[in-house]
Structure 1
Amino acid sequence: MATEGSKPCVYLQDMEEVKKVFARFDANGDGMISGDELSGVLKALGSDTSPEEVARMMAEIDTDKDGCINIDEFADFCKNDDSVDGGAKELKEAFDLYDQDHNGRISATELHQILNRLGQNCTIQDCTRMITSVDANGDGYVCFEEFKKMMGNK
């Protein structure tokens, strides 16, 4: 089980962030993420993940094999950094979900679309401020390098 003092994962900085993301996946609020809920979030992000791939993901994360992902399994998955590439592949996949036009940059519009699909009530101005806060080179977009730095920061 992840604790507040555990090493942060590439994507989520602390247990509070893990809980927030978990709650987004747990659409019915029962404390468990089902395969249908996982599939729903992936669809909202624009992924056309096959049922077989969702089943593989569920099998990988659901360590107690009860058919659902609980908060502890989710937190363990988030902090798992045993991957050979240090999570770079997963980070690139996450970036690609936001980069809707696949031009290598995330715009405020793309961020706005994804966050709204995920049920976040935010304006384009909010998204512009978020982009500006991590836009190191000042071009108005978040490139993969900036995204990596943002996801790795405490």
Structure 2
Amino acid sequence: MATEGTTTTTKPCEYLQDMEEVKKVFSRFDTNGDGMITGDELSGVLKALGSDTSPEEVIRMMDEIDTDKDGCINIEEFAAFCKNDDSLDGGAKEMKEAFDLYDQDHNGRISATELHQILNRLGQSCTIHDCTRMITSVDSDGDGYVCFEEFKKMMGNK
């Protein structure tokens, strides 16, 4: 039994820097495009990303983010959640968790193939070539992959 006020929720988007980025992420969660994220939509995206988030944790996340208590998360609530930076580490743990979702083989690097798999699971239609271009655009050491440091820089860009 959880005690009120002791629930901690992973903030998957603390690194978002502007409203356009927030809107892009929101639209990926809002799979039916109705302007609201339901618990089922949140759960579906988390599962597509490989998370084994329990139904109880999804309920806790919804309770935390859904401030008007209408049962759904609107863009304003999502944006407020994303901008809330009460973490002492500046979101480093959350950033690493996000990186790990993309790094499917856990080798510390995101390949174009891994990026392609995740984006397609999220319903984004893109080719391997598109993903290779995305990787190249942030691959500062030229090795053909995105390492965690490159990922942090990419997510921190405005």
Alpha carbons of 1:103 and 1:8: their partners in 2 closer, same or farther (altered >3 Å)? Answer: closer
Please say if residues 10 and 152 of structure 1, whose CA atoms lie closer than 8 Å, have aligned partners that are also in contact. Answer: no
Q: Which runs of 4+ in 1 moved over 3 A?
A: 1-11
Q: Give the total of aligned pairs.
A: 154
Please say if residues 11 and 94 of structure 2, whose CA atoms lie closer than 8 Å, have aligned partners that are also in contact. Answer: no
Please say if residues 4 and 14 of structure 1, whose CA atoms lie closer than 8 Å, have aligned partners that are also in contact. Answer: no
- Between the aligned partners of 1:149 and 1:69, the Cα distance in structure 2 is 28
Alpha carbons of 1:38 and 1:112: their partners in 2 closer, same or farther (altered >3 Å)? Answer: same
Give a deviation string over 1:56-95, Cα, whole Å, max 9, x none. Answer: 2112211222221111010111111121111111111111
- Between the aligned partners of 1:70 and 1:150, the Cα distance in structure 2 is 26
Structure 2 residue runs without a partner (length 5+): none
Alpha carbons of 1:36 and 1:8: their partners in 2 closer, same or farther (altered >3 Å)? Answer: closer
- Between the aligned partners of 2:16 and 2:133, the Cα distance in structure 1 is 20
Give a deviation string over 1:123-144, Cα, whole Å, max 9, x none. Answer: 1011111111111111111111
SS at match of 1:69: coil
Please say if residues 45 and 97 of structure 1, whose CA atoms lie closer than 8 Å, have aligned partners that are also in contact. Answer: yes
Give the TM-score normalised by the residue count of structure 1. Answer: 0.89
Give the TM-score normalised by the residue count of structure 2. Answer: 0.87
Alpha carbons of 1:8 and 1:153: their partners in 2 closer, same or farther (altered >3 Å)? Answer: farther
Query: What is the RMSD of the two structures over their aligned residues, measured on CA atoms?
Result: 6.1
**Shift, 1:28, TM fit:** 2.0
Structure 1 residue runs without a partner (length 5+): none
Alpha carbons of 1:61 and 1:8: their partners in 2 closer, same or farther (altered >3 Å)? Answer: closer
Give a deviation string over 1:33-78, Cα, whole Å, max 9, x none. Answer: 1110000011111112111121121122112222211110101111
1:117 to 111, 114, 121: 121
Alpha carbons of 1:149 and 1:72: their partners in 2 closer, same or farther (altered >3 Å)? Answer: same
* Identity percentage of aligned residues: 90
